[in-house]
A and B are shown apart, each in its own frame.
Chain A
Amino acid sequence: MYHRASSRRGRYDGVNWLLRMLESLGAIAVYLFAVIRSLVTGPRYLGETVRVGDILVRRCLLPVGLAVAPVGAVISLQGVHIFRSFGAEELLSSLLATAVFREYSPALASVMVAAQAGSSIAARIGTMKVRGQIDALAVMSIDPIRYVVLPGLIACAIVTPLLNVLTTILGLVSGWFFAVVLTGCDHGSFMANLYSQVSMVDLWVGMGKCLVFGTAVGLIAGYQGLQTTGGATGVGKAANDTVTFTIVLILVGDYLVSMLLLALGL
């Protein structure tokens, strides 16, 4: 289903490259179409989706938590210096909250989900592909996309925003800890100013970003996994490429969203 025509090394390497690009684009288009079709029509393997989601949450909780808490801490740490020199210490908490809600929480939650879930899903599907299990499913009349890719996709899409909530809280808590407990900012003014610059828009934007990025992780991991060739080395490459592409997507997308919001005056 996802076989690629072999490309011979000839004198026309430029044309070869172009052909391979077109092949890839075609394969991606076919894949996206298949995914959308599986989303819309049945049968759906809800049991599998729940199982994958459960594993995902358990595996991602620790890395995501460990990744975000330091960011809040570092923002406080560096921010305190700047703000103290301006005598505007109480602004630190609102900077922290805005940065965490709008930017670092969704970005980091997505990046860590990409690193953990993306690479493990791609590796799992890739292993199934090189061991012939994907073909085995097809022969048993089970659509691999429905059974293997879609549960991962839905699980990622749902779990990433949920993790975002956790990371926001963690980021704020660790920022508070560094600011109030360690560097001696005033607790009262910290809490008072915390939500002064944060609005519901920030929250929705953050969750929306996570939903989109999570879906992207699931999609890319599924595609890379199904396209794995070349035995065990291919599996490592699939996982690696998934993480690379997703991180690029997240950072570029993040930037575009920021520009958009700025243009819209939010």
Chain B
Amino acid sequence: MRFDRFVIHAVRAQFRGIPPMDEFVRHALDAGVGSIALLTLLTIFAGMNLSVQAYGTFARFGGQEMLGLFCGVGGIRELYPVMAAVVCGARIGATLAASLANMQISEQVEALEVMGIDPMRRLVAPRLWAVTLMLPLLCAYADAVGICASYFAAVHQMGINEGVFITQVQDIVTLPDLLAGVVKGVIFGWLVALVACYHGYRAAKRDGAEGVGVATNRAIVHAAVLCIVLNMFLSALMYA
């Protein structure tokens, strides 16, 4: 099935009425709660790293005092939403693709069709909704954790004045910035889920376990690249 036809079917299934609630809740919890631990860990390190790197770089210009500005802009506008999207998106996408591919190769999708159930409505639509709604929340969460981590590293490890840091962050980060991060999350979430479901759905029975591996691999790579490239275009659109 080609990608464009898959998208048409999937979108039709997604927006034609409410998807099965039990499937939706299951996938939403899986995507959200399952990613929180990993996201927290990674965002903390990324946030601290951002401060350290920025300090090291700016120290060469004598511009250490700009750290708050840089962490605010670089972090909230770019780093944390994209990192949440790439890391969580890759993981969530892999899980979606693997589960769909597994269902394809063990004929469960065909069983649904034979029982008169549309697999797109039952399998794909809940997954799309779950990830589209969960990823922006994860991005917002990453923003919060990341900026705290940057603050911690800047103030307690680099010795920046905390008042200066906080004021700079508050000055440079506006509500539109935060909302932009959430909007990015929605777009990334929807596209990552779409691509992942496409790869999973395409797995053929005769490929067996290898089909699952290939689907997972493709979902991970495409999700990651998609988020990074799309982010560039979205940022150009929003900030240029």
Q: Do chains A and B touch in the complex (CB under 8 A)?
A: yes
A contact residues vs B (CB 8 Å cutoff): 63, 66-67, 69-71, 73-74, 77-78, 81-82, 86, 88, 91, 94-95, 98-99, 102-103, 111-112, 115-116, 119-120, 122-124, 126-127, 130-131, 182-183, 197, 231-233, 235-237, 239-240, 243-244, 247-248, 251-252, 254-255, 258-259, 261-262
Shortest distance from the beta carbon of B107 to any chain A beta carbon, whole Å:
12
Contact B217 A71 (CB under 8 A): no
> Taking the complex as formed, is B208 at the interface, i.e. its CB lies under 8 A from any CB of chain A?
yes
A262 contacts B56, CB within 8 Å? Answer: yes
The interface residues of chain A, by DSSP majority, are classed as helix
Out of A70, A95, A251, which one reaches B42, CB within 8 Å? A251
Q: Which residues of A contact B61 (CB under 8 A)?
A: 88, 91, 94, 197
Complex partner residue of A70 from B94, B97, B214, B231, CB under 8 angstroms: B231
Contact B78 A197, beta carbon cutoff 8 Å: no
Q: Which residues in B have their C-beta under 8 angstroms from that of A130?
A: 209
Question: By the criterion CB–CB under 8 Å, are B55 and A262 in contact?
Answer: yes
* A54 vs chain B, min Cβ distance (A): 17
**Are the C-beta atoms of A232 and B106 separated by less than 8 Å?**
yes
Q: What DSSP secondary structure best describes chain B's contact surface?
A: helix
CA distance A137 to B237 in the complex (A): 54
Task: Judge whether B49 and A255 touch: CB under 8 Å.
Answer: yes
Tier of interface size on chain B: 35 or more
- How far, in angstroms, from A69 to B45 measured CA to CA in the complex? 23
Tell me whether B109 is interfacial, beta carbon within 8 Å. Answer: no
- On whether the beta carbons of A73 and B232 are closer than 8 Å, the reply is yes
Within 8 A of A (CB), among B181-240: 208-217, 220-221, 224-225, 228-229, 231-232, 235-236, 239-240
* A244, B91: Cβ atoms closer than 8 Å: yes
| B174: interface (CB < 8 Å) | no
Q: Is the CB of A74 within 8 A of B209?
A: no
Q: Determine the chain A residues whose CB is within 8 A of the CB of B212 once the complex forms.
A: 123, 232-233, 235-236
* From A98, A248, A262, contact of B38 by CB (8 A): A248
Instruction: Determine how close the nearest CB of chain B comes to the CB of A66; give it in whole angstroms.
Output: 5
Bound-complex Cα distance A122 to B220 (A):
13
Instruction: Name the contact of B91 in the complex, choosing from A95, A103, A240 (C-beta under 8 A).
Output: A240
CB neighbors of A among B30-66 (8 A): 38, 41-42, 45-46, 48-49, 52-53, 55-57, 60-61, 66
